[in-house]
Chain A
């Protein structure tokens, strides 16, 4: 094990190399570009044995790695924002074809106006496609989760592609000290690649032909959903195994900070959970017992795990860094639906903040927390279940 100071993007590159990925294809887009730049450097210097395929678009990038993956290679791509939207058709295709592969999405605002800062509209736009979607809080988590995703996606109980999400610049271009595992440790952790089928020369196989039975087609869709459900267990299992090797077990689908005796919880995904932790400490100093619940996987949505943690609390604030325009924030929607289905009633407020990369830090979370706690204690419920922050 060596300790290096790495940006989030370089953590992805190191993880790809350590996972012995065979094929990488990507199209440059800020803030993703330095991932594949670093991988190219590794290939150029002979540190990594990877075939890089140059393409003219993100649609082709995912098509190329999808093709490589169906032929049996461990494959990887990375993109952001408009690039991700451009490849959206193939995002669906890869999942419904049940082909394991891994993609890094450096979350970035969608234009117009042209904007390179983080919000979660790009990654949230992929949540119906059948991919596993993880979001990291730290650069260490980026590195760890990328390696784990190869194992999780190639597990026969899953056989679906997976996204590692990291916030633009906050993680992607900011250095942190990171423990980089030895190659031997990763080799013993990652088994030989497994996949549901492999396309080979001399053995013609058609993937995706017109179905002769629509019920079979319908069942395939439902099975993608069931595979995502069963991936929840695999994610926890793999996380525990990684924890034994490295000492870093993240809690599977969710991680909690000072939740045990908390009256109120923040719920969020990505880098700003770090600010939530700080806000929890500050709020406790002034008498509000808060905790922070980090959702590590957006898909599969960890409804059951969150339910256990929010049940009986005085109130929950969901911080969504994107909005499903015309409805509400996606984390809130998933959570509210799950709790309703399980007949659990908790005051929940959805605060939509940090859109377009608008700076939100722990002081903002303190304000949001104080206002929310006051409101719940005053009226016994939330006044408005959906709010934009800042309200000015």
Chain B
């Protein structure tokens, strides 16, 4: 027996239900730097290249709402909004 596993999306279930604050992105302010993508501890942020412009997308099914992305965003383009 070996302590090995394969990375798989959502092994702990839909962890988005743990969330009570939701990160919302102001796409107008976002400069597409990718810092939120780098810092997200759950890898639920994707930075996509949409016709030459970066676009940040969050997978809310698994985002636990920790707020790290909002905290590290250099242009304050991410806001934490209460869901309760």
Contacts and interface: CB of A to CB of B under 8 A. Distances in A.
A206 B4 contact: yes
A97 interface: yes
12 contacts: A96-B3, A97-B3, A98-B3, A196-B2, A197-B2, A206-B5, A207-B4, A209-B5, A211-B3, A216-B1, A217-B3, A220-B2
Interface of B: 1-7
Nearest to A224: B1
A219 B1 CA distance: 8
A100 to B, nearest CB: 13
B45 to A, nearest CB: 18
Nearest to A206: B5
A217 B1 CA distance: 9
A204 B2 contact: no
A334 interface: no
A201 to B, nearest CB: 14
Contacts of A208: 3
A41 interface: no
Interface of A: 96-98, 196-197, 204-209, 211, 216-217, 219-220, 223
B44 to A, nearest CB: 17
B7 A206 contact: yes
Contacts of A223: 1
A220 B2 CA distance: 7
Q: 4 tightest A-B contacts by CB? A: A206-B5, A209-B5, A204-B7, A208-B3
Contacts of A98: 2-3
Contacts of A196: 2
A385 B52 CA distance: 80
Nearest to A96: B3
A209 B2 CA distance: 11
Nearest to B11: A212
Contacts of B6: 204-206
A222 to B, nearest CB: 9
A357 B13 CA distance: 57
Given A209-B3, A220-B1, 9 more contacts: A96-B3, A97-B2, A196-B2, A204-B6, A206-B5, A207-B3, A207-B4, A211-B3, A220-B2
